[in-house]
């Protein structure tokens, strides 16, 4: 069932992920940043562990058009691109990543409530 504290924790992890993308890079290229995989993977793991089961099911359904779900799926694909010259790094397109993180932070509470009140 919907828990405001859990949603706030999820938002805080996305805020932490935002800080990692803005400040946690080992190397800044023009539009990209090289960030250690561990930093991103640990935060994504914490986020996924907190998500309610109905929301996780909705994430797996590709036809779901809720803003946070679409943004999460795009974020997952662009945030975890391996750097070709070193597998311990992800190459992150900064502007797009931050845009999707912000969209999720703004809409995830409403979307979780919606998903939990509808059958999935």
Please give the DSSP secondary-structure letter assigned to residue 74.
H
Q: For residues 97-104, give the mean pLDDT.
A: 97
pLDDT at residue 63 in the model: 63
pLDDT at residue 120 in the model: 59
Indicate whether 3 pLDDT > 90: no
Where does the pLDDT of residue 9 fall: very low under 50, low under 70, confident under 90, or very high at 90 and above? very high
Q: Are the C-beta atoms of 114 and 52 separated by less than 8 Å?
A: no
pLDDT at residue 111 in the model: 94
- Tens digits of per-residue pLDDT, 25-54? 999 988 999 999 999 999 999 999 999 999
Q: What percent of the chain has pLDDT over 70?
A: 95
For residue 82, the surrounding DSSP H or E stretch is strand 82-83
- Top pLDDT among 33 and 62 is at 33
**Mean pLDDT for the chain overall:** 92
> What's the distance, CA 30 to chain centroid?
22
pTM for the model stands at 0.91
**Separation of alpha carbons 66 and 15, rounded Å:** 20
């Amino acid at each position: 069932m919907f828990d405001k504290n859990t949603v706030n924790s999820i938002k805080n992890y996305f805020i932490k992920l935002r800080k990692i993308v803005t400040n946690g890079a080992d190397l800044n290229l023009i539009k990209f940043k090289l960030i250690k995989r561990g930093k991103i993977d640990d935060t994504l793991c914490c986020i996924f562990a907190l998500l309610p089961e109905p929301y996780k099911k909705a994430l797996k359904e590709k036809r779901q058009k809720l803003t946070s779900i679409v943004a999460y799926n795009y974020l997952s694909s662009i945030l975890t691109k391996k750097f070709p010259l070193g597998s311990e790094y992800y190459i992150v397109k900064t502007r797009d990543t931050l845009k999707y993180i912000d969209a999720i932070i703004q809409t995830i509470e409403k979307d979780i409530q919606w998903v939990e009140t509808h059958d999935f």
